[in-house]
Amino acid sequence: MNKIFITTIIFTLPWSLQAQNTNPYKGSSFQEVLGVITNPSPVLKSQKEIEEFAAYQKGELPYYPVNALTVFSTNPALTKDAQRTVSEKFDYYDYLPKKLHANGVCLVGQWKIDKASSYSGYFKKGSRGLFIGRASVTMGNVLQGSKRGFGFAGKLFPTTNETEIVKTASFFAVDVLLGTKTDRFLETSMTNQPETGFSLSALGLGLRIASALKKADEDPSFRPVTPISRLGEAGIVKTPHWIKVSAVSNLIKNNEKDFRNELMKASRDNQGLTFDIAVSDRTSDRTSSDWEKIGQIKISKAFISYGCDRQLHFAHPRLKD
């Protein structure tokens, strides 16, 4: 089974149907983006948007299926949409149905680097920034007992001022693309070059997606973290090749079946969540000892919202950007 076919299935691009605007990206404030994804009265422009938003209004846990029909049945064309997603840097859109990582939980807090390293930008010791992330599953399985691929997307604001407009940097990490039967999101670790896993049933879908998306980026299985190492830098930057994100081991865990309920309850029980940030230039193996822990992501709030699932955007860096 060709790895690029399978990795392209999941570890690539969220697609949007309508752009935020046609102006160049000038950045956003943390307060602005948080306001969008927590807005209790978003502007809804279609019957579909109204129907989707109704579930959140009722306090229901929405579920978006991920299959060949949901991936390929909407416009614009997949390749065109994918190319735009890796070229536009907007932090949110009017409407952004995520075709692959459709079901998620937003995580809000701070990025903190407390260990010295040779890396630049916001990998430097002492770096502090506001943070908005989204935990998700790679395809449609959300329940414990099924094969779930856990994902973690992060948006870093290079400031601690909630109203300052800044250009953000995003990163992406997944544990195993085709999933495992790991019981809890808080028991896995995720990297920017994840393992593929195995699922014969996903091959056909992978071939179709790969043929469209590889035109947008030559290696969708790897997402560089260069945007983070460039923050605040005017000259030469040094970037770790791999990043790993994993929950700290001493969190109070629970047995909620849906990973979203797991994270919501764990956030309440622990009065927040903490994830370790580790980097490496030697390995992408999540179990290797060749990782250097340099900091943490401190989450103060977790929530499920229409804006989180249907508007928030994480710009994907190209391999050669």
What is the tens place of the pLDDT at every residue in 138-168?
888 999 999 999 999 999 999 999 999 999 9
Instruction: Provide the token pair at 191.
Output: 């990297």
**Could you confirm whether domain 3-310 is CATH 1.10.10?**
no
Closest C-alpha among 135, 116, 108 to residue 190:
135
Query: What are the counts of helices (DSSP H) followed by strands (DSSP E) for the chain?
Result: 9, 8
Residue 299 is predicted with a pLDDT of: 98
Residues in contact with 224: Cβ distance below 8 Å, sequence separation at least 6, in sequence order:
192, 239, 241, 317, 319, 321
What does the domain layout of the chain look like in residue ranges? 3-310
Q: What is the pLDDT of residues 198-255, one digit of tens each?
A: 766 666 666 666 666 666 666 767 889 999 999 999 999 999 999 999 999 999 999 9
Is residue 96 within 8 A of residue 14, CB to CB? The reply is: yes
Longest dimension (CA), the chain: 52
- Report whether pLDDT(293) > 70: yes
- For the chain, give the number of residues: 321
Report whether 170 contacts 227 (CB < 8 A). Answer: yes
